[in-house]
Amino acid sequence: MSETIFAPSSGAGRAGVSVLRISGSQASTALQSLTGQLPPTPRRATLAALHDPDSGELLDRGLVLWFPGPASFTGEDVVELHLHGGRAVVSSVLDALGRLPDCVPAEPGAFTRRAFDAGKLDLAEVEGLADLITAETAAQRRQALRQLDGGLSKRIEQWQARLARQLAHLEATIDFPDEELPTDLEMAALNDISSIRSEMRQDLGSADIGERLREGLEIAILGPPNAGKSSLLNSLAKREVAIVAETAGTTRDVVEVRLDLQGYPVTLADTAGLRGAQSEALDPVEAEGIRRSLERAQSADFKLLVFDATLRPELDILSLADANTLICWNKVDLAEVDPPTIANHTALPLSAMTGKGLPELIDALSNAVVQRFSEVGSEPVLTRARHRRAIEEASAALDRVATQSLPELSAEDLRIALRALGRVVGRVDVEDLLDVIFREFCIGK
């Protein structure tokens, strides 16, 4: 019998209400120790006074919810205490629970682990739940909710059911070669497998966007020292994150902020100032800073190239501009000249100091980001590299099925595909799936 676990489920710190969760066979005993009463009606909020079971001291008055297993989040008996959200209140109740037999503080993720073990959530849904809790923008929330609601799991299960069916037929022809099986079976099986393969390919096509949505697109701010990169980052983030300094080359490491652009997450990175080849010798620290900036520029989804409007742009820095670059012509408050067209890009006139041009820059960036995320047309179902690798493996195995010389080898490929799919949802029981299918067959009984 596993221990009963308890933990605060709401965030740390002062709050109006804090929710504490208890899960396990001792949940109702723990509740009785605190309230002196039997658990209330299931799933009904009930007011109760909570006392220290040893001293009898009143700890708090709060709402109690009772979810008897298996109809609970973890599948076990669960109690939820809605306490006043003061630190002392919460810690006194946690302390009292810790003194009860077989009750231990929960490890991170322990409630969800139990929900998974009880079959309440599969692995893809667990990931959806984790993503929902960390979602920072609307698009991330939508994607996480879809996955938590089984969007990915249902897709996987449908593929598994279809493949298991084909595998069962194939095994039947191997095991019972004398049985009369429909002759068009093989054609139908290959057709279905090929349509699963194309469905997989379509999902793989949007996997990159799914992963980017979880992690955020990367935008690197690049340019010569003193062009106003840190100032721009600060204006964009509307908070002080990078040091704005008068001396050249002070931003030596990469400073990042997370932004929400039209519901989509982006990570904006300020980089060390770049110096053109014609500049005087660099010290090693600055050279390292520049190396990191260029590395960042390569991996970024978009680049903001910032230039000082009062100076001539250095050509080798300009050469970094590509199709995913916006050129910012900064400090226009000092130089009221029309921004030039450089490297086929119209530079955006900007003043990080006065805020002029900032709304236009944010619009341009948002449009680019929205366009990138809507490129694939459909809503991505694969959201992690883990999913992508599993589907790639399954799809590669299905590619081989049709070309195998022996049905035994095709069957083995189907098993490989099924196992790869099983890994996505955390259940790799190919034999169980087959049992279900074979029962419909009745061959040889």
Residues engaged in binding ligand GDP (CB under 6 A): 223, 225-231, 244-246, 251, 273, 330-331, 333-334, 351-353
CB 316 within 8 A of CB 338: no
Q: How far is the CB of 364 from ligand GDP (least distance, A)?
A: 17
Question: Within its chain, how far is the Cα of 420 from the centroid?
Answer: 20
CA distance 408 to 35: 63
Q: Where are the alpha helices (DSSP H) in 108-184?
A: 110-117, 123-134, 138-148, 151-175
Phi-psi region of 199 (alpha: psi -120 to 50; beta: other; left: phi over 0): alpha
Query: Is 275 or 331 the residue whose CB approaches ligand GDP more closely?
Result: 331
**Contact yes or no for 254/269 (Cβ under 8 A):** yes
Least distance CB 350 / ligand GDP (angstroms): 7
Angle at 209 between CA 207 and CA 212, to 5 degrees: 110
- Report the residue number, 118 or 244, with the smaller CB distance to ligand GDP: 244
Cβ-based nearer residue to ligand GDP, 128 or 228: 228
Q: Residue 188 has what DSSP assignment?
A: H
Q: Which residues contact 17 (CB under 8 A, 6 or more apart)?
A: 10, 82, 83, 84, 85
Across 289-312, b (16+ Cβ under 10 Å) vs e yields: bbebbeebbeebbbbbbbbbbeee
User: What is the amino acid identity at position 162?
Assistant: R
Minimum distance of ligand GDP from residue 238's CB (angstroms): 15
Residues pairing with 260 in the sheet: 265
**Least distance in angstroms from the C-beta of 356 to ligand GDP:** 8
Measured at the alpha carbon of residue 83, what is the angle toward residues 82 and 85, in degrees to the nearest 5? Answer: 120
Instruction: Compare residues 335 and 428 and give the one whose CB is closer to ligand GDP.
Output: 335
Is it true that the peptide bond before 224 is cis, omega within 30 degrees of 0? no
CA pair distance 39, 42, nearest whole angstrom: 8
Give whichever of 95 and 316 is closer to ligand GDP, judged by the CB atom.
316
What's the distance, CA 290 to chain centroid?
31
Contact 159, 113 (CB under 8 A): no
In the bound state with ligand GDP, the residue whose beta carbon lies nearer, of 140 and 325, is 325
CA–CA distances in Å: residue 112 to residues 109, 115, 117 = 5, 5, 9
Q: How far is the CB of 245 from ligand GDP (least distance, A)?
A: 5
Q: Nearer to ligand GDP by C-beta: 266 or 352?
A: 352
Minimum CB distance to ligand GDP, residue 265 (Å):
23
DSSP 57-105: -EEEEEEEEEE-TTSSSSSS-EEEEEEEE-HHHHHHHHHHHHTSTTEEE
Residue 280 beta carbon to ligand GDP: minimum distance, rounded to whole angstroms? 17
Q: CB of 35: closest distance to ligand GDP in angstroms?
A: 59
Residue placing its CB nearer to ligand GDP in the complex, 234 or 410 = 234
If the CB atoms of residues 351 and 383 are measured against ligand GDP, the closer one turns out to be 351
Shortest reach from residue 346's CB to ligand GDP, in Å: 18
Nearer to ligand GDP, 206 or 330 (CB): 330
What does the chain come to in residues?
445
Least separation in angstroms between residue 244's CB and ligand GDP is 4
Q: Judging by beta carbons within 10 Å of its beta carbon (0-12, 13-18, 19+), is residue 130 exposed, middle or buried?
A: middle
As a whole number of angstroms, the distance between CA 257 and CA 234 comes to 9
User: Nearest residue to ligand GDP, using CB?
Assistant: 228
Which of residues 147 and 330 has its CB atom nearest to ligand GDP in the complex? 330
To ligand GDP, the closest distance from the beta carbon of 328 in angstroms equals: 10
